[in-house]
Structure 1
């Protein structure tokens, strides 16, 4: 069995795509599921998407947390005027609340998932999905094998 790790995924798209009409294309049984660029309904189902969708793979929780906080910083301008997410500064990402919480979650072998409505009626989804095995879907194979 492969060493436990997390795969990183990002989706940023218009909210209308999430409900195109309905959510069948976001479920694994749908013929468009693997090619649909939208995020799946269930977090673990990211592991069923093509490996090309993986933005990074992290074996150490601190590395995954750095990626997660880095994406929050990268997309910070999209949160402008929002009070529902605390975006760490680029200089203080490590040690921020987002970073510390992400390390805790990844260390427990859980998924770290964030999703926010952002400017332009878009939705941003940041995901670190546990792999080898996934706690909820242990039957899912690693997309990189």
Structure 2
């Protein structure tokens, strides 16, 4: 895909997996990194995961912000006993339009962790050497 855009990634899993033991499996130099279903330590490292992990791709900031807000609504019941985070729609549009990532992570019911990510691609601001995954 040509031009700046964002890839969407979601991870929902047991908090125990985040520290299985330690976090080496969440780093790109670990042999399990590409196959590990857990989110990476650095946001840009999502781009090093298999392209099949991409939930959606957005060329327009408003579309990405709508996806992000929609994902929060989709997982709303997991925030039982805690306030669901504000999707900060306008801030998300601004960040995406500026080529920034939009990342959120929350502990939710059942000792799980929910990670929602919109990762900039072509290029990534922090890791411009990362190539864009091809679907």
Q: For this structure pair, what is the TM-score category when the shorter chain's length is used for normalisation?
A: over 0.9
1:1-46 per-position Cα deviation (integer Å, ceiling 9, x unaligned): 8210000000000000000000000000000000000000000000
| Structure 1 unmatched ranges of 5 or more | 87-96
Residue matched to 1:28 = 28
Query: How far is the alpha carbon of 1:84 from its aligned partner?
Result: 6.4
Cα pair 2:76 2:84 within 8 Å, conserved: no
* RMSD after superposition: 1.3
Q: Secondary structure at the match of 1:127?
A: strand
What is the aligned length? 135
TM-score by length of 2: 0.96
Q: Which runs of 4+ in 1 moved over 6 A?
A: none
* 1:83 CA displacement: 2.9
Structure 2 residue runs without a partner (length 5+): none
Q: Is the 8 A contact 2:44 2:124 kept in 1?
A: yes
Distance 1:36 1:125 in 2: 15
Q: Could you tell me how far apart the structure 1 residues matched to 2:51 and 2:116 are?
A: 16
Q: Secondary structure at the match of 1:104?
A: helix
Secondary structure of 1:9's partner? Answer: strand
Match of 2:51 in 1: 51
